[in-house]
Structure formats: structure tokens, C-alpha cells
């Protein structure tokens, strides 16, 4: 049976000497694994059109199990993401998080909408690092945890100007008044916690203007990665490259 579906490539794996397996997140929010025969031999066609982040109309045959890709009508290559290793690494973090948040027999229209949204935002010039924060915030519930950024979890104080850190001991933001109760709390500015709360609660269709200072985005990224590590036991492969790039930047 020949199937035509729009989708975005969220994962690619080399298979043998000439083939590869791609996973697309189709327009309905389902993950579809596809075998691409002789992809690495066809550098001008299937090789170029089956890269990570490609958005297109995928034509494939499928009976049982994995489908076999016939052709791709490319709508957007998102080629710019392969020109900047920093942007590419954070965009990869986005696709990896979304990929791991969905089972193969599951349908999540929101996940497709989220991926489409962040790729469009990155294309328009919004920081890919900031977009990775948005994705990780929106995917938290799918990994089985949540986070409290808008009040002190110890005192219940809702004055966000008093928040000075995130406590894994008490599972939420913590204020200056009681920070001594958790000497290992992750110190973070109240502005960062405020913006994390906004991004967590704001629907993506209302995120029109996204312009946050790089230092604040760095704080966001560091905390959100710690949240996934502590609460979900999750470490993203993309984070390894990001850490290496950050170390090189510090030299």
C-alpha cells in the first residue's frame, strides 16, 4: 500500500553500507520508521532529502512492520541548521526529546505542532537553545514529572521576587528566607524562574515574541537538564555535544 504523508524527520540511523533508517513525525503526530534503500549511494537525492529536520511529503509503501521510502517531495530542508553546529545541537535536542516522549503506537498531534513551531521559530532567528528549553518544558509531563517555579514550596509565598533557587530536596522553587534549609539548592535568579513559569504555562500559539537574554537562557537550560536527570533519570545524547561545545567556548 502506497502512503503519502507530510512529516518531519526526527531521527536517522545508518543501516549497513548503503541504507539508512529514518523516523518521521507525521502530520497526525505519529512516529513512522522508514527504510531508505541505497540512501548513502544517492547523494543528490535520497541522501540529501533524508537528513534530520527535513520537512516534506513522504511517499512510502507499508504492509506490516517498517515501511520503505519511495520518494520525498521536500517542503523545507531547514538547511540552515546544518550550517551552525550550536543551532544544530540544540535543534537535535528538541527532536530527541520529542522522539523519546512518544511511543511508536501513540499519536500526539501536539508533539507535531510543537516540533513544527520550534523549527519555524529557529528559522525566523529565535535562539535554538531557547527553543530547546520550550520543548523540554512542554514535554516534562510525558516523562512523568512536573516542576514548580511560581512560588516557594516551603513557605507557600507567591512573591516571585523572593525566589532564589530550585530545591530538589523540596521539589520546587525556594525563597531567600528558607534557602538555608537546603544547602544544595540550585541557585538561580528570580527572573529566570519567572520566565520558566511563563514558558511552561503559555500555549505555543501565544508565543509571538521570544527574546530572552542569553545568560538567562543558559540558566534555564542548566536547570531544565538537571530536572530531567533528577526526576526522570534521562540524559539526552545531544547534550554530550552541547557540553563539549560549551567547554571549547570556555577555553
Of 26, 42, 77, the position where a domain reaches its end is 77
Residue 36 lies in a domain: yes
Asked whether residue 118 falls in the same domain as residue 28, the answer is: no
User: How many CA atoms are closer than 13 Å to the CA of 50, on its beta-carbon side?
Assistant: 31
CATH of residue 37's domain is 2.40.50.140
**Which sign, positive or negative, has the C-alpha torsion 80, 125, 245, 224?**
negative
Asked whether residue 137 falls in the same domain as residue 211, the answer is: yes
Residue 180 confidence (pLDDT): 96
Give me the residues paired with residue 57 across strands: 6, 73
Range of the domain at 87: 81-146+188-250
Task: Name residue, grid cell 535536542.
Answer: 93
Asked whether residue 120 falls in the same domain as residue 18, the answer is: no
Residue 189 confidence (pLDDT): 95
**How far apart are alpha carbons 171 and 65 in whole angstroms?**
42
Asked whether residue 99 falls in the same domain as residue 16, the answer is: no
Asked whether residue 14 falls in the same domain as residue 135, the answer is: no
Residue 47 confidence (pLDDT): 79
Give per-10-residue mean pLDDT for the chain (251 aa): 93 89 96 88 73 95 86 91 89 96 93 96 94 97 96 96 97 96 96 96 91 93 96 92 77 57
DSSP 29: S
SS3 at position 71: strand
What domain count does the chain have? 2
**How does strand 31-36 pair with strand 67-76?**
parallel
Asked whether residue 61 falls in the same domain as residue 111, the answer is: no
**DSSP per residue over 74-123, as a string?**
EEE--GGGGT-HHHHHHHHHHHHHHHHTS-TT-B-HHHHHHHHHHHHHHH
> Which residue intervals of the chain are DSSP H helices?
46-49, 85-100, 109-123, 128-139, 190-201, 214-227, 237-250
Residue 192 lies in a domain: yes
Cβ contacts of residue 58 below 8 Å, gap of 6+? 4, 5, 6, 7, 24, 26, 32, 34, 69, 72
Amino acid at each position: 500500500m502506497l502512503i503519502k504523508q507530510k512529516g518531519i524527520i526526527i531521527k536517522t540511523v545508518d543501516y549497513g553500507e548503503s541504507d539508512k533508517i529514518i523516523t518521521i513525525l507525521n502530520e497526525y503526530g505519529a512516529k513512522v520508521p522508514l527504510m531508505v534503500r541505497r540512501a548513502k549511494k544517492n547523494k543528490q537525492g535520497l541522501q540529501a532529502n533524508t537528513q534530520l529536520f527535513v520537512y516534506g511529503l513522504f511517499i512510502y509503501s507499508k504492509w506490516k512492520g517498517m515501511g520503505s521510502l519511495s520518494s520525498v517531495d521536500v517542503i523545507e530542508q531547514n538547511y540552515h541548521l546544518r550550517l551552525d553546529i550550536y543551532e544544530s545541537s540544540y535543534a537535535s535536542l528538541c527532536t530527541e526529546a520529542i522522539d523519546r516522549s512518544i511511543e511508536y503506537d501513540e499519536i500526539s498531534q501536539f508533539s507535531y505542532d510543537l516540533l513544527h513551531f520550534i523549527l519555524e521559530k529557529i528559522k525566523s532567528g529565535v535562539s535554538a537553545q531557547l527553543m530547546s528549553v520550550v520543548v523540554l518544558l512542554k514535554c516534562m509531563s510525558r516523562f512523568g514529572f512536573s516542576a514548580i517555579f511560581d512560588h516557594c514550596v516551603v513557605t507557600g509565598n507567591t512573591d516571585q521576587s523572593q525566589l532564589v533557587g530550585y530545591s530538589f530536596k523540596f521539589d520546587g522553587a525556594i525563597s531567600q528566607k528558607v534557602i538555608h534549609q537546603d544547602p544544595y539548592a540550585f541557585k538561580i535568579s528570580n527572573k529566570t524562574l519567572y520566565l520558566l513559569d511563563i514558558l511552561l504555562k503559555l500555549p505555543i500559539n501565544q508565543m509571538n515574541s521570544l527574546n530572552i537574554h542569553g545568560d538567562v537562557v543558559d540558566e534555564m537550560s542548566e536547570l531544565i537538564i538537571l530536572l530531567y536527570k533528577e526526576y526522570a533519570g534521562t540524559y539526552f545524547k545531544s547534550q554530550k555535544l552541547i557540553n563539549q561545545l560549551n567547554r571549547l567556548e570556555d577555553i
